[in-house]
């Protein structure tokens, strides 16, 4: 299912019983966060705040705050459906005929995505503000220690200054005043790379910040896609329909025609960086203030009746947990292309995704777990994983009680811990240097004689099937 607007998604959420409209007046400063935080932690619905004090736009929050709503956002019954489709497209056997070769090529084209369609006009430009004022937006001040209001769900469109290749990233933006914000892209992000390339070329880097529209596009902006994969094409794959793009008014960038709000502008590499933050982050701690580029607003376009989408992050579980879990499931088949021995993976919510990963593998040779550790640390955003636990294929990694039991019993800390140094997430406040620190891999697989383990490895305690069936047959008679 492809949504034509964020309003369409709101209506679907409401029909499914997953939306609550809040008409009581609430302030964008702290009050909406406190309501949303309570609802998120209790597993509650999406919230549409229709009466934000001193603002005319409603605020949508927690729209992705369950696996059911993630599935609705992507137009499927279950996010595993998307994962299964990716697995089907990439698990192709060698063609036996020219006809089969054409069929396989057709399937792989689907995985690449559906090219966008350029249109002359879009709903995102029903109103054009050439004298822009960010004050019209109900931007949230989320936590008491935040440096100010932050735009928290922006899709930032940029172009590679050399090749013109598009990127869409999600980077928080602290609002400094009516026409400037921070642009908080970490040094590992593609947007930051575009910024540095623009510095080499001189001149300004144009940007377009899009809010709302099809939720599949919002998700794609969060997805850990390789730089060579276009988020707009990936969105076409997800929604099974081309994304319509329209030329921005004041910058040379194409934006989704169905967006609710588009903030156009630029960053100038020749301009000094500006102190941004602190910000209450998804780790559950404040990310400290640091220097980032200043985004200058040149124009704001919007729908006649836009919805302002937002999220809050903080001590988990929060709404972003479900965006992350959807990514875990959707990208697992792609991970298996490089590492087919991986059976399953769990990025626990309270591990805030880059602090802890548990991976089950089909172990085939000595030190196999260590090979998988180093391979994962070399793959995209998996390089940030601070604690990586490898278990055998028969361990249910989604059951953290089972994982804890197995790890506690299976490891010898000195033998089975692997320490490495390298890039870590910029938000890792425990790292000795910004973006650089240590990581640990834990091999919790059963140890083999070929790995130097000379003792017998004991089997787990399991009752025999005959006895279990016997007790099953008389269970109702036991009064238990």
Per the CB < 8 A criterion, the answer to whether 346 and 189 are in contact is: no
417: Cα separation from own chain's centroid = 29
Whole-angstrom Cα distance, residue 151 to residue 140? 7
What percentage of the chain exceeds 90 in pLDDT?
86
- Region 195-201: mean pLDDT is 91
Query: Among residues 18, 260, 281, 443, which one is catalytic?
Result: 281
366: exposed, middle or buried (Cβ count in 10 Å: 0-12, 13-18, 19+): middle
Distance, CA of 334 to CA of 338 (rounded, Å):
7
Q: How confident is the model at residue 98 (pLDDT cuts 50, 70, 90)?
A: low
Burial of 471 (0-12, 13-18, 19+ CB in 10 A): exposed
With 90 as the cut, is the pLDDT of residue 44 above it? yes
Say if residues 417 and 387 touch (Cβ distance below 8 Å).
no
Work out the percent of the chain whose per-residue pLDDT is above 70. Answer: 95
Q: Which CATH class is domain 6-309?
A: mainly beta
Alpha-carbon Rg of the chain, whole angstroms? Answer: 24
Cβ contact 367:451 at 8 Å: yes
pLDDT at 137: 98
Band (pLDDT 50/70/90 cuts) for residue 89 is: confident
Check the CA dihedral 359-381-226-376 and report its sign. Answer: negative
The Cα–Cα gap between 309 and 442 comes to 40
| 281 catalytic residue (yes or no) | yes
Q: Answer yes or no: is pLDDT of 94 > 80.
A: no
Q: Which residue has the tokens 């090749």?
A: 163
Between CA 54 and CA 29 the distance in angstroms is 11
pLDDT for 135 equals 97
The label of the residue with tokens 């935080």 reads 37
Cα separations (Å) of 206 from 88, 156, 158, 251, 391?
38, 10, 7, 6, 46
Of 199, 189, 198, 152, the C-alpha closest to 167 is: 189
**CATH domain 339-451 topology:** UbiD C-terminal domain-like (3.40.1670)
pLDDT at 361: 98
In the prediction, which pLDDT does 188 show?
Answer: 87
pLDDT value at residue 88? 80
DSSP-assigned letter for residue 29: B
Kindly report, residue by residue over 124-143, the tens digit of the pLDDT: 999 999 999 999 999 999 99
Give the Cα separation of 398 and 404 in Å (integer).
11
For residue 390, the cross-strand partners are: 359, 443
CB 354 within 8 A of CB 428: yes
pLDDT classification of 93: cutoffs 50, 70, 90: low
Residue 211: strand pairing partners: 261
| DSSP calls for 174-194 | EB-SSSEEE----TTSHHHHH
Kindly indicate the confidence band of residue 55, based on its pLDDT and cuts at 50, 70 and 90.
very high
Predicted pLDDT at 355: 94
Task: Tell me how many helices (H) and strands (E) the chain has.
Answer: 13, 25
Segments making up each domain of the chain, as ranges: 6-309, 339-451
Residue with tokens 């054409």: 102
Residue-wise pLDDT for 28-43, tens only, equals 999 999 999 999 999 9
Nearest to 40 by CA among 71, 9, 63: 63
Taking residue 7's Cβ as centre, other Cβ atoms within 10 Å add up to 18
- Beta strands 342-346 and 150-151: pairing type? unpaired
Residue predicted with more confidence, 394 or 114: 394
Residue 10 has pLDDT above 70, yes or no: yes
* CB contact at 8 A, 261 and 309: no
- Whether residue 193 contacts residue 210, with contact meaning beta carbons closer than 8 Å, is answered with no
Mean pLDDT of the chain: 93
- Reported as a single tens digit per residue, the pLDDT across 341-388 is 999 999 999 999 899 999 999 999 999 999 999 999 999 889 999 999
Lowest mean pLDDT among 13-22, 125-134, 331-340, 404-413: 331-340
Residue whose structure tokens are 């994982």: 403
Query: Would the CATH topology of 6-309 be identical to that of 339-451?
Result: no
Containing H/E element for 415?
Answer: helix 413-416
- pLDDT at residue 232 in the model: 94
Give the per-residue pLDDT at 353.
87
Q: Is the peptide bond before 317 cis (omega within 30 degrees of 0)?
A: yes
Q: Would you say residue 103 has pLDDT above 90?
A: no
Residue 465: count other Cβ atoms within 10 Å of its Cβ. Answer: 8
- Exposed e or buried b for every residue in 8-35, given b needs 16+ CB within 10 A? bbbebbeeeebbeebeeebbbbebbbeb
Question: For residue range 104-127, what is the model confidence (pLDDT) as tens digits?
Answer: 455 555 555 688 999 999 999 999
Q: What is the DSSP string of 43-88?
A: T--EEEE--BTT-SS-EEE-TT-SHHHHHHHHTSS-HHHHHHHHHH
Nearest alpha carbon to residue 369 among 390, 383, 388, 384: 390
- Residues ≥6 apart with Cβ < 8 Å to 451: 366, 367
On the question of pLDDT at 455 being above 90, the answer is yes
Contact between residue 345 and residue 376 where contact means Cβ atoms under 8 Å apart: no
Rounded to a whole number of angstroms, the distance between the first and last alpha carbons of the chain is: 48
pLDDT in tens, 308-340: 999 999 999 999 999 999 999 999 998 998 899
In this predicted structure, the answer to whether residue 1 has a pLDDT above a threshold of 80 is: no
Q: What is the mean pLDDT of residues 235-257?
A: 95
Q: Which of 17-21, 237-241, 463-467 has the lowest mean pLDDT?
A: 237-241
The residue-averaged pLDDT of 151-175 equals 95
How is residue 148 annotated by DSSP?
S
């Amino acid at each position: 299912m492809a949504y034509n607007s964020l309003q369409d998604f709101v209506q679907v959420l409401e029909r499914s019983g997953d939306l609550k409209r809040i008409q009581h007046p609430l302030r964008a400063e702290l009050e909406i966060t406190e309501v949303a935080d309570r609802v998120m932690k209790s597993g509650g619905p999406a919230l549409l705040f229709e009466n934000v004090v001193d603002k005319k736009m409603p605020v949508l929050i927690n729209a992705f705050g369950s696996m059911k709503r993630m599935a609705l956002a992507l137009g499927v019954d279950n996010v595993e459906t998307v994962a299964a489709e990716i697995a089907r497209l990439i698990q192709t056997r060698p063609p036996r005929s020219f006809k089969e070769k054409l069929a396989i090529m057709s399937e792989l084209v689907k995985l690449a995505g559906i090219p966008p369609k350029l249109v002359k006009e879009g709903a995102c430009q029903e109103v054009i503000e050439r004298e822009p004022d960010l004050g019209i937006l109900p931007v949230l001040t989320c936590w008491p220690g935040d440096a100010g209001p932050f735009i928290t769900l922006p899709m930032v469109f940029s172009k590679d200054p050399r090749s013109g290749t598009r990127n869409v990233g999600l980077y928080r933006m602290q609002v400094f005043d009516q026409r400037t914000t921070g642009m908080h892209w970490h040094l590992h992000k593609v947007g930051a790379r575009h910024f540095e390339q623009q510095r080499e070329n001189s001149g300004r880097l144009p940007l377009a910040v899009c809010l709302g529209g099809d939720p599949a596009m919002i998700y794609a902006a969060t997805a850990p896609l390789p730089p060579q994969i276009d988020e707009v094409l990936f969105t076409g794959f997800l929604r099974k329909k081309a994304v319509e793009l329209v030329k921005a008014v004041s910058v040379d960038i194409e934006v989704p025609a169905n967006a609710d709000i588009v903030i156009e502008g630029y960053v100038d590499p020749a301009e000094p960086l500006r102190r941004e933050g602190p910000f209450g982050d998804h780790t559950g701690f404040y990310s400290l203030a640091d220097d980032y580029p200043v985004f200058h607003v040149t124009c704001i376009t919007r729908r006649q009746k836009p919805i302002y989408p937002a999220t809050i992050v903080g001590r988990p579980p929060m709404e972003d947990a479900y965006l992350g879990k959807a990514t875990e499931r959707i990208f697992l088949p792609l991970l298996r292309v490089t590492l087919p021995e991986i059976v399953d993976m769990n990025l626990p919510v309270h591990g805030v995704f880059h602090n802890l990963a548990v991976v089950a593998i089909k172990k085939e040779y000595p030190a196999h777990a260590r090979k998988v550790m180093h391979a994962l640390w070399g793959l995209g955003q998996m390089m940030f994983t601070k604690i990586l636990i490898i278990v055998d294929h028969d361990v249910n990694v989604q059951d953290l009680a089972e994982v804890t039991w197995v790890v506690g019993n299976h490891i010898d800390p000195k033998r089975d811990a692997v320490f490495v140094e390298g890039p870590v997430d910029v938000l890792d406040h425990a790292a000795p240097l910004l973006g650089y620190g240590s990581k640990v891999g834990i091999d919790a697989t059963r140890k083999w004689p070929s790995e130097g383990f000379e003792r017998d490895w004991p089997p787990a305690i399991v009752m025999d099937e005959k006895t279990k069936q016997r007790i099953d047959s008389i269970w109702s008679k036991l009064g238990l």
